[in-house]
Structure 1
Amino acid sequence: MHLLKLSALSSLLLLGACSSNSSLRGDYADLSPEMVTPLNINTSRVVWAGQVKNIVNHEGSTCFVAVSYKKDPANRPMMNSSGDGPRFIACKKYEYPNKDLVNRLVTVSGPIISLSSDEKGLVYYPIVKIDDLKLWNTPDGSAMNLPVGFNSPGVNVR
């Protein structure tokens, strides 16, 4: 009986591990941030990876600017990326402490909702409404737990 309980628990843990990035799989547009045009707004869902460079907390939401990185097959940022890719902005209705995200590697998924320009109007950054966010710890690709209510690795928060 004890062996049966242990087997059932192992199966549940294995299922949870297999689905940890399932929210980042699916039907997403094969667009990089520099490929976005006004035609993609509200029609394209993407999965992008990058490194957070700046955070802005608005009342009830957090937006961050990230430099895009190439992704591995599991949608994790590739550590051998140059880090000088195009930038994108990702936003979620939740205020998140700045210090915990700056310079962290992230993977986000969600719809492209807008384009934002720099102060001179010369460069445009696509804005993604975050449906799913994965915050990666280290070069080995391990994930970091986020506060309840924002997201945690393997959990789809909408």
Structure 2
Amino acid sequence: MCERAVKEKARSLGLKKAVKSRWMEHADYVRNHFAHRSYAEIGKELGISREYARRIAVRMGLKRTALEDFKVLSRIHSDIMRRERRRVIFGLSPITRIKVVSNRARVRLRSWLKSKGYIAGEEYGILYYTDDLHRIQESELRGAKLGFRFLPYPSEETIVLSNLL
């Protein structure tokens, strides 16, 4: 007996396929969390793929407004930034290519001092000053509190000697 004959016999007897209960549970969860969760988050929670969560939403006719889309994407981006900052603070390598700053005050001060004529060393925490530079004591004190070291710019003789060693 072929599949088509089975279908026709079932139709003649008035039999219909029942909706799968698991699909209904998934659909209910998707409906309740659609506005404030991404497909990936919904899929992860239900143990299904992101694409299957999207298909369930499409089948139910759910669509996000531009504001809902923005809120979901903004929240996800903030979470990623928070995780990346934590990784930088604990000295771990980044997962994404997003540039994060763990100490904004230090970055701003370093940039400002460079604009005033200080020279950044190869190591991050060292700033050099030349003989003709007007040094700013208040900023140097603040920089020392943030972990910067201020050294006189090495002369050519010092550079040559250090290269020989």
The question of a shared fold, defined as TM-score above 0.5 by the shorter chain, is answered with no
Give the TM-score taking structure 2 as reference length. 0.22
Structure number, greater radius of gyration: 2
Give the TM-score taking structure 1 as reference length. 0.23
Q: Which has the higher contact order (CA 8 A, sep 6+)?
A: 1
More strand by share: 1
More helix by share: 2
